[in-house]
Structure 1
Amino acid sequence: MFSIIIPLYNKAQFVQRAIDSVMGQSFREFELIVVNDGSTDGGEQRVLAYGDQVKLITQPNQGVSEARNRGIKEAKYPWIAFLDADDFWLPNYLGTIRQGIAQFPQTGILGCSYSQSIEDLGKVDSQGWFQMDDYFKRAIVNTLFFTSATVIRKSFFLENPGFDKDLSRGEDLDVWFRAVLFFGKPVYNFSKLVYYSQEDAGKATNRAFPIVRSLSYKILRHDYYLPARGIDWGDFEIFRKRYVYFNLFPYLKDAQNDAVAKILLEALKDSNLLLRLVYLPPFGLLRRLMKYPRGRKLLRNYMKFCLRYIY
């Protein structure tokens, strides 16, 4: 039923924990594919210790997107489940996902909640599985879907591009957004069944990238995604503009991003004026403000307030 994809790059100290969490699942109809993306810390040797329980694929380092795409190509089951090598699942994760599929058999994308605290794991939400007709209205406050807690029909990847290797920031959200547009009406459960690790200081989220390699740049393209099924395209139009406003300002810490930022803001002209106020001061002034944690927090909290209580 499930093909589980774990991309592996220099996570030797964590990957055994991730694999053990898969092997400990109460629901057993799955295959596990680990794509070793040119690791240099010997992590693949820990995978080999599981023998034929795990399909190990080794390739030169090409990045996490290409590693996931390779795993998807090798997958034999109709549902693709993703797990990062430093995260792990509770034993009932796949069984709970299976229940969601049984309850909403027409869906193409499902997800559940997660926790960054081991002590907080296992909390079951009484609401159970529910279907979202208004995902893009919700998503500007909380995108909900998280890589290690998301399952997608393989058919999406047969008809659409997979993870974008040119994105260094937001490559996972890019897939979730396009999958929602493709399938319509995603399904979600707020039960906390996945541990999201913050233990690896080398995570990509801790590094700086140019705007052109971010989803904030890609999502405004006129051809980003056209055929939406069961989703109000107008909701997505509003969402993607607000998404860019909310995620653009951290890139202004690097003056090399100024020119592209101005182009994006010009494309957003005359929309969401309260969010646009953040970008009216000279970028140099914003840069000085963002040197201080309190300054960054002030900007983000202002935009959060606008999105949650005004818009």
Structure 2
Amino acid sequence: MSCQFVTVLIPTYNRSELLLATLASVFAQSRLPDEIVVINDGSTDDTLKRLSMLGDRVRVLTQENQGKSAALNLGLRHARDGLIWIVDDDDLMDPDALQTLVDLFGHDAGAEFVYGRHERFSVNPSGEIRRFDTGYWCECLPGEFLIATMEDMFVHQPGMLVRKSLYDRVGPFDISRARSQDYEMLIRLARSATVASTEDVVFLQRVHDGERGAGERAISSDQRDSKWVENDQSIFRNIYASFDLKEYIPPHMELTGPAALRYALLSRGEIMARKKLWDLAIADFGAARDVTTDPLSEAETRIVRRSLAGKYGCDEIITDRALMLALERLADGSRPGLQIVSSLALGLRWRVLNELRGGHMLKALALFLCMIKLRFAGAIRVKRDVRRTKLAD
């Protein structure tokens, strides 16, 4: 596998200085790529002038400004068969990144794409680099990667090396998406292929407050999270409608009948909750509750606890009274219903502690009150039912 042709694709728009730093980190690889292709997405700064100074070290493709997806599709059409390494124009690659990723294919001949870890960094006005930890990261078995990725994206393109044949098989990047196009593609890749991974850090992801996106699609930093949530929700409504329920069960779990159905419903519900698609999540939790009266397994309890752990928070349970009532109603007195709601409450403990550590006392208190309401929702509903029965008699 070490002799495989490796193409680096770098889409860029008006980031000439950052682009040169990224290219320098690619030029410094201990295992050099065979070709570096920069796709200039209609830049209006001095990007082309700077690239011309690099001579034949870089192949440049230029298109009118159409966005990252279109730029990557153009690059993929011109790339040779072999391995594709997509690098963002503002990140820095570890000197051994490519060698590390190529070696993973040698260790697992059946893998169609491989990935490694990243750390984050920022640069202060004096040019000093400050490194942070990875942020959200999930250690998982290859067979769990699709579900883990649907929960939250933790693998990024500069940390991945992908067979071009796999990109050809799953189809082009979605040009209709201004955000989350890499996430949507990652899910397609994960759904279609076997993966291999390393815990080694292979690139540094830049943290900055600049605009994201290109041209008319650019968004400011204060809009970033809301736009990501909006785009992720669009992706996952499509997934909810198109994925088979069995895809929410890891392949190594030998479940059949009602046990398989309930596990899949809880797993899908948890994923939809993390995307703030609560209408879908509550529908799945309610359906799971009614599949069987058997108590939830430890694995099912852990799934439900993760529902409120998405990286964009869960402030909506504080502000949306109707949502809290709907969650409380899941505890209808049946044992599975009580366990689902109790598990949601337990999942809030981390949120409360995290807000306390950050000094956000009012928010911690609001989340704590939500946790208490959910924790005792079952008992309250049982008392209400008993009271109604007595009044009826």
Q: Which bin holds the TM-score, normalised by the shorter protein?
A: 0.7 to 0.9
Which of residues 182, 185, 201 is equivalent to 1:172? 182
Which of residues 48, 65, 69 is equivalent to 1:65? 69
In the TM superposition, what is the alpha-carbon distance from 1:133 to its structure 2 partner?
Answer: 2.0
In the TM superposition, what is the alpha-carbon distance from 1:56 to its structure 2 partner?
Answer: 0.4
Which of residues 145, 164, 170 is equivalent to 2:155? 145
Which of residues 167, 180, 197 is equivalent to 1:188? 197
Counterpart residue number, 1:220:
237
Looking at CA atoms only, which structure, 1 or 2, has the larger radius of gyration?
2
Equivalent residue runs for 1:67-146 within 5 Å? 67-117=71-121, 120=131, 132-139=142-149, 143-146=153-156
Describe the superposition over 1:183-216 as per-residue Cα deviations: whole angstroms up to 9, x where unpaired.
Answer: 13x2111211201011351125833566896132
Equivalent residue runs for 1:228-247 within 5 Å? 232=251, 241-247=269-275
| Cα 1:245/1:223, change in 2 over 3 Å | closer
Measured in 2, the distance between the counterparts of 1:57 and 1:170 equals: 23
Q: Kindly provide the amino acid, as one letter, of the partner of residue 196 in structure 1.
A: Q
Measured in 1, the distance between the counterparts of 2:186 and 2:236 equals: 12
In the TM superposition, what is the alpha-carbon distance from 1:16 to its structure 2 partner?
Answer: 0.5
Counterpart residue number, 2:281:
268
Instruction: Considering Cα pairs closer than 8 Å and 6+ residues apart, tell me whether 1 or 2 has the greater RCO.
Output: 1
Measured in 2, the distance between the counterparts of 1:285 and 1:102 equals: 53
Measured in 1, the distance between the counterparts of 2:82 and 2:141 equals: 20
Counterpart residue number, 1:259:
none
In the alignment, is residue 51 of structure 1 matched against residue 55 of structure 2?
yes
Q: Kindly provide the amino acid, as one letter, of the partner of residue 244 in structure 1.
A: M
| Cα 1:58/1:219, change in 2 over 3 Å | same
Contact in 2 for aligned 1:171/1:215 (Cα 8 Å): no
In the TM superposition, what is the alpha-carbon distance from 1:62 to its structure 2 partner?
Answer: 0.5
Q: How many residues align?
A: 275
Q: Secondary structure at the match of 2:284?
A: coil
Please, which moves more after superposition, 196-205 or 66-75?
Answer: 196-205
Q: Secondary structure at the match of 1:268?
A: helix
Contact in 1 for aligned 2:115/2:155 (Cα 8 Å): yes
| TM-score (norm: length of structure 2) | 0.59
Describe the superposition over 1:164-199 as per-residue Cα deviations: whole angstroms up to 9, x where unpaired.
Answer: 122233211111111111013x21112112010113
Measured in 1, the distance between the counterparts of 2:363 and 2:198 equals: 29
Measured in 2, the distance between the counterparts of 1:27 and 1:219 equals: 38
Contact in 2 for aligned 1:218/1:224 (Cα 8 Å): no
| Cα 1:114/1:134, change in 2 over 3 Å | same
In the TM superposition, what is the alpha-carbon distance from 1:243 to its structure 2 partner?
Answer: 3.3
Counterpart residue number, 1:16:
20
| Cα 1:239/1:144, change in 2 over 3 Å | farther
In the TM superposition, what is the alpha-carbon distance from 1:18 to its structure 2 partner?
Answer: 0.8
Measured in 1, the distance between the counterparts of 2:100 and 2:133 equals: 12
In the alignment, is residue 163 of structure 1 matched against residue 173 of structure 2?
yes
Measured in 2, the distance between the counterparts of 1:295 and 1:148 equals: 38
In the TM superposition, what is the alpha-carbon distance from 1:100 to its structure 2 partner?
Answer: 0.5
Measured in 2, the distance between the counterparts of 1:296 and 1:120 equals: 31
Measured in 2, the distance between the counterparts of 1:296 and 1:244 equals: 27
Contact in 1 for aligned 2:265/2:285 (Cα 8 Å): no
Contact in 1 for aligned 2:12/2:41 (Cα 8 Å): yes
Instruction: Give RMSD over aligned pairs.
Output: 4.0
In the alignment, is residue 28 of structure 1 matched against residue 28 of structure 2?
no
Q: Secondary structure at the match of 1:116?
A: strand
| Cα 1:200/1:162, change in 2 over 3 Å | farther
| TM-score (norm: length of structure 1) | 0.73
Measured in 1, the distance between the counterparts of 2:173 and 2:66 equals: 12
Describe the superposition over 1:190-246 as per-residue Cα deviations: whole angstroms up to 9, x where unpaired.
Answer: 211201011351125833566896132222325646797x96498887655433322
